[in-house]
């Protein structure tokens, strides 16, 4: 169920009551494409709005140019119940930006669903989360000046603006939020890898999280995922990333939705 609306409504400027609603970009049934539960039939609830601006974002319609419709929690739960799946993935954008995500997760938990929350790790919420799929953003995610100068486009084809790059770089890591997520939830740390140069930074960040958190972060809790939103790009990158995972003792994760459907909307 793709949905669309004026992005200005994301700030609650629409006519409707948004106190018990969420800005939903799409809600659909598919296979989980990434992480420990890859291949599991799942209902995806994708919220709109993100505090970051990764240059390789595969959901620009929730971040660079957010589009959505406001759905109240009753509507969301009723739509989830239409599908034959007991796993719900709350994703975005950054779903934990929205306070009502907590209420939605409570409703889903009470209904017996297993929930995964896909988050960039910059926001902590006390919520009914069965698996926190945390994807901290590396320096390579920032649309830095040289990329802007080279005309590297946003995912929607428009030029990257320098102000967005500066905000992204300032906000992309929150060690305190990362530590709390690791401590309070079953967590996988999932990194988008653009190449071998990312691995030293990943190692350092994993060590920082281990130092900051009281919970154990095993090497097998660290997942490496090749960057790419097309089959062709994944074909170029997956072998390198798999070798890097083997070398470090980390876990490799596929992107099944790209392999199967080339990252088409609703997959």
**Each residue's pLDDT expressed in tens, for the chain with a length of 267 residues:** 444 443 334 444 333 456 799 999 999 999 999 999 999 999 999 999 999 988 777 776 777 677 788 999 999 999 999 999 999 999 999 999 999 999 999 999 999 999 999 999 999 999 999 999 999 999 888 876 555 555 555 555 566 677 878 888 999 999 999 999 999 999 999 999 989 999 999 999 999 999 999 999 999 999 999 988 889 989 999 999 999 999 999 999 999 988 898 877 777
At 77 the three-state DSSP class reads helix
CA distances from 145 to 41, 94, 107, 149, 166 (A): 41, 24, 44, 6, 9
133 within 8 A of 34, measured Cβ to Cβ? yes
Spans of all domains in the chain: 7-261
125 with 96: CB under 8 angstroms?
Answer: yes
* Residues 226, 241 contacting (CB under 8 angstroms): yes
Domain range 7-261, CATH architecture = Alpha-Beta Barrel (3.20)
Going by their DSSP bridges, the two strands 187-193 and 222-226 should be labelled as parallel
Angle at 241 between CA 184 and CA 254, to 5 degrees: 65
């Amino acid at each position: 169920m793709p949905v669309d609306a004026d992005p200005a409504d994301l700030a609650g400027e629409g006519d409707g009551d948004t106190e018990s609603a969420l800005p939903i970009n799409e809600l659909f049934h598919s296979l989980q494409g990434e992480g420990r539960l890859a291949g599991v039939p799942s209902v995806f609830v994708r919220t709109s709005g993100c505090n970051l601006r990764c240059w390789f974002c595969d959901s620009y319609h929730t971040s660079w140019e957010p589009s959505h419709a406001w759905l109240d929690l009753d509507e969301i739960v009723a739509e989830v119940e239409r599908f034959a799946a007991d796993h719900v993935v709350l994703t975005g954008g950054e779903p934990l930006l929205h306070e009502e995500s907590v209420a939605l997760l409570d409703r889903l938990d009470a209904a017996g669903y297993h929930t995964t929350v896909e988050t960039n790790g910059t926001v902590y919420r006390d919520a009914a989360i069965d698996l926190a799929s945390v994807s901290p953003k590396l320096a390579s995610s920032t649309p830095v000046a040289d990329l802007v100068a080279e005309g590297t486009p946003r995912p929607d084809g428009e030029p990257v603006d320098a102000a967005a790059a500066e905000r992204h770089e300032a906000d992309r890591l929150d060690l305190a939020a990362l530590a709390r997520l690791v401590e309070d939830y079953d967590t996988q740390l999932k990194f988008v890898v653009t190449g071998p140069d990312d691995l030293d930074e990943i190692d350092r960040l994993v060590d920082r999280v281990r130092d900051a958190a009281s919970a154990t972060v095993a090497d097998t809790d660290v997942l490496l995922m090749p960057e790419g939103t097309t089959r062709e790009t994944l074909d170029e990158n997956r072998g390198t990333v798999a070798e890097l995972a083997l070398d470090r003792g980390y876990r490799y994760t596929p992107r099944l939705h790209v392999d199967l459907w080339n990252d088409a909307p609703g997959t």
